Structure formats: structure tokens, C-alpha cells
Amino acid sequence: MDDDDLDARARLVVVGNGMAGARLVEEVLERGGGEQFRITVFGDEPHGNYNRIMLSPVLAGEAHEDDIVLNSHDWYADNGVTLRAGVRVERIDTAAKVVSASDGTSTAYDHLVLATGSYSFIPPMAGVRRDDGSLLPGVYGFRTIDETRDLLAATTRCTRAVVMGGGLLGLEAARALQGHGLQVDLVHAMPHLMNAQLDAEAGAILKRGVEALGITVHLDVLATEVLGDGHVEGVLLQDGRRLDCDLLVVAAGVRPHTDVAVRSGLEVERGIVVDDQLRTDDPDVYAIGECAQHRGSVYGLVAPAWEHATVLADVLTGTDPTAEYHGSRTATKLKVAGVDVATMGVSAPERDSDEFLVISEPGRGVHLSVVIRDDRLVGATLLGDTRKVAALTQAFDRGSALPEERIRLLVDLTDGREEVGVAEMPADSQVCNCNGVTKGAICGAVADGCGSVGAVMDRTRAGKGCGSCRSLVKQVVEWAADGDVTEDPAASYYVPGIPLAKPALVAAVREQDLRSVSAVFAALAPGGKEDARSKMGLTSLLKTVWGTEFVREKDAEFVNDRVHANIQRDGTFSVVPQMRGGVTTPAQLRRIADVAEKYEVPMVKVTGGQRIDLLGVRKEDLPAMWEDLGMPSGYAYGKSMRTVKTCVGSDFCRFGLGDSTQLGIDLETRFQGIESPAKIKMAVVGCPRNCAEAYVKDVGVVAVGNGRWEVYVGGAAGATVRKGDLLATVESPEEVLTLAGRFVQHYRENANWLERTYDFVPRVGLERIRSVVVDDADGTCADLDAALQRSIDAYTDPWGQDRREPATPGQFRPALPLVALPQVPVR
């Protein structure tokens, strides 16, 4: 007799180790189920349980796959749960109460739970599969961590992608691929994007936002054939158009995984049919999550699956034998391709008596609507502005009374009323929809000793889903802790994959002589693991520290930095030669014109930085074009000093108080190509009329008469608009060069990765910066001057260097022939 025969506990078998199945096991264990059941979990994938919602950030390089693990293999062992990872259940013998698995084993059960989830639907297009039924190479689903790994690998060798499906998953895949430098076409069969959640007007606004990112959207059209012999080469659309690609992602929806239930004779319609206690037509078999069909509904969201798990755990453990599931009121808040979206309930009126309020501002990318029935909120859609989502979610979940002036649901009116704050939120208000975490659970974690936002998130999993609720989680934690919140150490890390703040990271790099990104990971990352999100930041840092002694690695650089040009939406590049201070010559203009004609450049454009941009250049043409131009790089890419705008100044302008043109040329000559945590833009104007917008640059210089110049820092005129702060007034152009250099070097050494000066200056404080670079209070000005000079001395023009000797054999090799853009007419 073996130990199993002596174990009197009932046998609970869970088929499916995804977010529903693993959550059920957690809920059962929390109710003392470890003493009641011998638990066995089967999972198709060889991994532990991970957060499938976070696959999009992993693909985008914003998260590492280790970050999304919810239950590791060790967790199952530590909790006495047998995990059969990578083993598929093929059949259920409901009479004998035994499941048969793909490895030939049989496992008996007393209670069986099917949590098989769903699978990517691959439409039956010609050419999408090979003769053996496998997908044509280059065609991917986007549902598992293994598929995500394969897609990440493909982004390093592919240049053009087609994504099929304009729902949430398709949009996130398209955005992630576009972020890796691929040209992306998005094909959607319906007339507008996210048609399951948004109405046509909101979908049109979302489409404009997606296209603004450089993604081409094709609506109301089907893909009928996948082209390619041995590897995908393109997609044929229903209207006869062909979209070339070397990567095809199919995100055209999912289907419940019901095969094992069908083979075993259980009742199946769209999903596995269950009652209010999640029981199938066999009394000892249950189904939860995306594979379950309850009262005719199949849910594709995580929150209902976890509600299933809570009810079923109560039933199985006897905690509440009468517990029932009566359906879910679904509410989601997320960021789709960079656009904030929140939806709940219905998106449009369904009855004549329904009230429907819409506020639509296409110019701002905002669309807000609510549907009210019998004085209760039954639906809401917020696109582009989700500030009201907390109050709306509370009204939706609780069925609370609504204001007589319905517009108050969407906008604040100026009568002193305030939106419901954190303090007024009931304890059972749901803060995290993905993980079903309430305000009360967060407050409980704080009361139990979780002193930081990160600790609370780890304990409760609030904010660990799509991440859109993290600001609210932070507010609740701060309120519960009465403001006494410990700062999360990770908030100070320079890059997420290395647990060090910038000063400690720089010190370690110097002390251990780490000159490549891979060396930094090997020496300083936990477990030596590489983190895709950290590579570009480390590359920039190492260039700053080591200069010419930095060891360049192709996979640690974005494509722009690899080829010294800015990738465009069609996979071509833009070439911007340097024009110091916005000044050029007839000879340079002739060369630019000749080059544009020779290489059939589709567009020649004057930029806002007073330079000329050649757009639509093929990757393989870049070295020859640089040679023909005979001009240095203008650095219109990467994180470095970009350009110095100037006005005419005292050379010709009758209002000029100083020679802004020459000073601008001198500044650009001195700081050209200087690596920095984020891009730097400068401007010099010959008088306070500010014709070159010096007040809103990272460094702006203004002539004020009598040879004197004002130096401003921390300005911005992009998505953020901020007038720069006056750092100092100096007496000569030479002092401008010195002071600007000290500020730039201080910024380079102390700013966070991707922190622009308009964030750096307010964070550090103008007075502190002034004390360092003007007053030399720390005695470091000589060091700043010397460090900057070393970077200046190490400068080499990348166009001259790599056109003579490419850094790698494939640096300028095209991965796929590109379709030439039409010649753009001058208008």
C-alpha cells in the first residue's frame, strides 16, 4: 500500500493551469482546502501560471516574462499541489471518474474542474497552413508566452507585419510590433475598431489615434489568402489588394477550448454548459473561466473567471455550499495602443426608454457616453479621458442612484461639488478589475504591515493585471497608511532590470570595468538575466561613461541607433543632414537636391528644427546617400543633442541685440552627437521677441543687449508645454558655452533614463541646479567641464564611420523588398 492509498483526502483534479485554474487552487487553499483535497493540476504549457494580460507589454519590451509569473513551479510544490506542466488531458471517463493524459497516464478524481480557457481562432484562409496542419512559417497566434517569445525573436529579423484583428489583442500586438520598428498594417473585418466594446464614433476616434502612431488600418475587409512558399510573404485581401509582409499575427478572436468536454460527452454549446454553481451536466465535473458557458454567456475577461473561482471554491470546500454565480457585470479600464479606454456594460441604448448621453470631441481624441435605464447606469464608454471611471464604476457595480443632471456623470460642473474620493469609496468597491481586488483588501494589506505600494501590489495583486488601476491603488494605499508610505526601491532604479539607482550603477560599471550591455546584465542583474526594457537605457549610459571604449552590441540598440536614421511607418528611413544653427549654403542645397533626385526620395521637407529632411529612404541606400551628401549627421534620431535653432539675430535683423546665428552654430558644433538620457533641443534668439522659441527649449539663450545673454533651461513645446527657467544671465557668448555645457553634463550625469529636462529641472529644483553649475557650491564645475570635454573629444560622425566600415555585415541589408511610396506633390 503506497502513501496515496493512505491519504483519505478527496482527489481534486484541475484541467488547465491558466489564470482561472490557478486562481481556483489559490481560493481552495485559502479556505483550508489543502487539508480536504489532494490537488492535481494539468497544464498544456510547460510553465507555471502567468498573467496572460501582460503578454502585450512583454512583446512591446515594456515587461520581462519573469515579471508576469503569478505562480512558479516552486509555488505548487510549496503548497502540496501536484503540477503536471506540459501534459494535456485527452479524455474524461465520467463513469470511472478518471482522466487520461497525453503522456499515457491516468488520474482518478472525486471532483474535476475544467479550466481549459480558449485558443486563438485562425480563420480558414488559403495558404495559412501547411499540408501537415501547422501554420505557415512567419504566421503566429498571440495567446501564449511561447508565441510571444517567437514574435520577439521575429522582430529582430522582420521589417513588415500584418496584424489580423482590430480588437484589443490585435491593437496591442500592432502597437508592440510598431515599437520594434516594423511597418504594421492592421486588418479588421468590421467597420470600426474594437466593435465589441465601442460604438462607431468612438471606433473612428480610436482609428485616428492608432494611425497617428504610424499603423495603417484597413477596415471592413477580410483577408482571404496568405501568400508565400515556405514562409509568409504577404496577405491577399477580399478586395484584391495585396499587403506585403514577412510577419503575420492572427488576433481574430478566440474560441473556448471545449474539445475534451466534447470527446467526453459533456453538454457543450458555445462553451461547456454550467449551472449557477459552475457544475456541468455531470455532478462531479465543473467548468470555469473562458471555456464555461453560464446562462448563455461566455466571458473572455479575467474578472468573471475569478468570480467563478471564488464561488466554486466556496462550494467545493463547504465554506458556503449554497454559493451561486449569477453572471458578471463586466467593467474594464486599459490603455489600447497608447489610448486610455474604459468600458462597462452596454455601449448603446437597447430599449426605447434608455437614456443615452454622448460627449464627443474628435479633435481631442475624446469620446464619452453613458447608457441609463430606470435611473441606473447600465453602460459607459470612456475613450481618451478616463478621469470619471472610478465614480462610474462605483455607480455601475452598486446600482446607486444617479444625479438628476446626467451630464455630471461625465464632466465636473463648477458648483463646488467634488467627485467621490478615495475616503468616500465603500470598502467593497472594486479597485482592480483584472484581479478582483477591493478597497477593503488593499486597506487590509496596509494594516497587515505592507508599507509600500509595491508591497501591497505583491500581496493583493492589485495593479498586476493591465496596470491601468495603479494610480488608484496608490491613492488607496496612501489614504490607508495616512500618508506614511515607504518608497518602493524599484522607483529609483535607472533601468528596471538592474536593481541600482543611477549613481550606484555608474559606480559599479566603472569599478567592474563593464563596457557592454551583456556584461552589465551578467554582473549586475539578478540571476544574470537580460531585460529587454533596459537595453537601450544601458546602451546610452555606457556610451556616456566609456565614450569610444564602449562595446557596441546590435541587439542592445534600437534600429534608429543601429543605422543612424529615423525609421518611418513604411519601413523606410529619414535622412536629416546637419545644418548648424539652421544655416546652409547653395552648394549644400544643390547636393541635397541631386541626392533626392538620384535616390527618388518621395518627400523633401523643411523641419521645425531648421533643417531639411529626406523622407522615404531605403535602408540599403543609406551609406551611399551619406557619401553623396558629404554632410555630417544631424542626429534627428536617438537620445542625444539634436539641433540648435536660431533667428537671424544682429547679422540682418534690425531688432537684433546679439549674434544669435554664430552662437547657435558654436553651440551645435560643441554639443553635436552628445549622448544623453533623452533628446536635447536648443535655440538662440537675438532679442526677447523669441523668433526661434528659445524660451521653450531644453536650453534656450536670449540676447538682452550690451553683450549679455539669458540662459534658460527645462523648457518644452511638445506634448508638454513649459516655459524654461532662467538659470543665469552671462556677459559673453563664451560664458554661454561654458554654462550650457555644465548644465548639459549635470543633466547627463543625474537625469533618469528618458527624463527630459522639463521633468528633470522641476524634480531637482532650479536653485539646486543653479548652486551646482553657476555657484559651484559642490566644487564640481571643473569635473563637469572635463567630463563634457572628454565626450566632445570622442565625437566621430556616425555617417562617416559606418558608411566606410559597417558595424555588422547586415547593418544596412534589407530584410524584405519595400513597396516604393508614391511621389508626394509639393502643395
The pLDDT tens digits for 373-391 are 999 999 999 998 888 887 8
DSSP secondary structure of 557-577: S-HHHHHTSEE-TTS-EEE-B
145 in the same domain as 33: no
pLDDT of residue 433: 73
Report the range of poorest mean pLDDT among 545-554, 681-690, 708-717: 545-554
Last residue of a domain, one of 287, 317, 347: 317
pLDDT of residue 416: 40
pLDDT of residue 436: 75
- Residue 224's nearest CA partner among 181, 258, 189, 267 is 189
Last residue of a domain, one of 438, 456, 485: 485
Residue 600 lies in a domain: no
pLDDT of residue 295: 93
When pLDDT is averaged across residues 660-685 and rounded to a whole number, the result is 95
When pLDDT is averaged across residues 711-730 and rounded to a whole number, the result is 91
211 in the same domain as 172: yes
When pLDDT is averaged across residues 179-199 and rounded to a whole number, the result is 92
**Burial environment of residue 794 by CB neighbours within 10 A (0 to 12, 13 to 18, 19 or more):** middle
Report the range of poorest mean pLDDT among 31-45, 233-247, 533-547: 533-547
pLDDT of residue 413: 56
Spatial distance between the Cα atoms of 288 and 28, rounded to a whole number of angstroms: 14
- Residue 197's nearest CA partner among 444, 382, 449, 473 is 382
195 vs 489: which has the higher pLDDT: 195
764 in the same domain as 644: yes
Q: Is 90 exceeded by the pLDDT of residue 90?
A: yes
Enumerate the H helices of 369-466 as residue ranges.
Answer: 389-398, 439-447, 453-460
Q: Is 50 exceeded by the pLDDT of residue 827?
A: no
**C-alpha distances in Å from residue 506, one per residue of 84, 133, 417, 495, 503:** 44, 52, 50, 12, 5
Residue 465 lies in a domain: yes
Q: Cβ(629)–Cβ(595) under 8 Å?
A: yes
- Reported as a pLDDT band with limits 50, 70 and 90, residue 483 is confident
Residue 758 lies in a domain: yes
pLDDT of residue 808: 58
Residue 680 lies in a domain: yes
Report the range of poorest mean pLDDT among 104-118, 412-426, 498-512, 625-639: 412-426
pLDDT of residue 826: 33
**C-alpha distances in Å from residue 402, one per residue of 367, 373, 378, 818:** 20, 11, 11, 55
CATH number of the domain to which 684 belongs:
3.30.413.10
CATH number of the domain to which 309 belongs:
3.50.50.60
Q: Is 70 exceeded by the pLDDT of residue 802?
A: no
pLDDT of residue 437: 85
**C-alpha distances in Å from residue 535, one per residue of 147, 176, 404, 538, 680:** 22, 16, 53, 5, 20
Neighbours of 308 (CB within 10 A): 28
Radius of gyration for the alpha carbons in the chain, expressed in angstroms and rounded: 30
Residue 530 lies in a domain: yes
- Reported as a pLDDT band with limits 50, 70 and 90, residue 427 is confident
789 in the same domain as 647: yes
- Residue 252's nearest CA partner among 225, 222, 231 is 222
- Reported as a pLDDT band with limits 50, 70 and 90, residue 502 is very high
Q: Is 60 exceeded by the pLDDT of residue 419?
A: no
316 vs 469: which has the higher pLDDT: 316
Domain enclosing residue 372, as ranges: 329-413
Give how many domains the chain has, as a whole number. 6
Residue 333 lies in a domain: yes
772 in the same domain as 685: yes
Q: Is 70 exceeded by the pLDDT of residue 48?
A: yes
When pLDDT is averaged across residues 99-104 and rounded to a whole number, the result is 96
CATH number of the domain to which 391 belongs:
3.30.390.30
Q: Is 90 exceeded by the pLDDT of residue 315?
A: yes
650 in the same domain as 759: yes
Q: Is 50 exceeded by the pLDDT of residue 825?
A: no
Convert 221-255 into a string of H (helix), E (strand) and C (coil).
CCEEEEECCCCCCEEEECCCCEEECCEEEECCCEE
672 in the same domain as 730: yes
When pLDDT is averaged across residues 9-13 and rounded to a whole number, the result is 96
- Reported as a pLDDT band with limits 50, 70 and 90, residue 364 is confident
Residue 576 lies in a domain: no
pTM of the model: 0.61
pLDDT of residue 418: 45
When pLDDT is averaged across residues 780-787 and rounded to a whole number, the result is 96
Q: Is 60 exceeded by the pLDDT of residue 809?
A: no
Task: Decide: helix, strand or coil at residue 190.
Answer: coil
Q: Cβ(806)–Cβ(564) under 8 Å?
A: no
What kind and span of H or E run contains 147? helix 145-155
Residue 398 lies in a domain: yes
Spatial distance between the Cα atoms of 137 and 247, rounded to a whole number of angstroms: 9
Report the range of poorest mean pLDDT among 17-26, 43-52, 148-157, 798-807: 798-807
Neighbours of 126 (CB within 10 A): 11
CATH number of the domain to which 449 belongs:
1.10.10.1100
Spatial distance between the Cα atoms of 230 and 245, rounded to a whole number of angstroms: 14
261 in the same domain as 246: no
Average pLDDT, the chain: 89
570-618 pLDDT, tens digit per residue, is: 778 999 999 999 999 999 999 999 999 999 999 999 999 999 999 999 9
351 in the same domain as 240: no
310 in the same domain as 229: no
- Reported as a pLDDT band with limits 50, 70 and 90, residue 823 is very low
246 in the same domain as 260: no
742-764 pLDDT, tens digit per residue, is: 999 999 999 999 899 999 999 99
Q: Is 90 exceeded by the pLDDT of residue 222?
A: yes
C-alpha cell at 94: 465520467
pLDDT of residue 55: 92
User: Binding site for [4Fe-4S] cluster: residue ranges?
Assistant: 647, 653, 687, 691
Q: Which residues pair with 216 in a beta bridge?
A: 185
Q: Is 50 exceeded by the pLDDT of residue 519?
A: yes
User: Binding site for siroheme: residue ranges?
Assistant: 691
242 in the same domain as 168: yes
User: Binding site: residue ranges?
Assistant: 647, 653, 687, 691
- Reported as a pLDDT band with limits 50, 70 and 90, residue 804 is low
Spatial distance between the Cα atoms of 292 and 258, rounded to a whole number of angstroms: 9
Q: Is 60 exceeded by the pLDDT of residue 535?
A: yes
Q: Is 90 exceeded by the pLDDT of residue 454?
A: no
Last residue of a domain, one of 525, 550, 575: 550
Q: Is 70 exceeded by the pLDDT of residue 818?
A: no
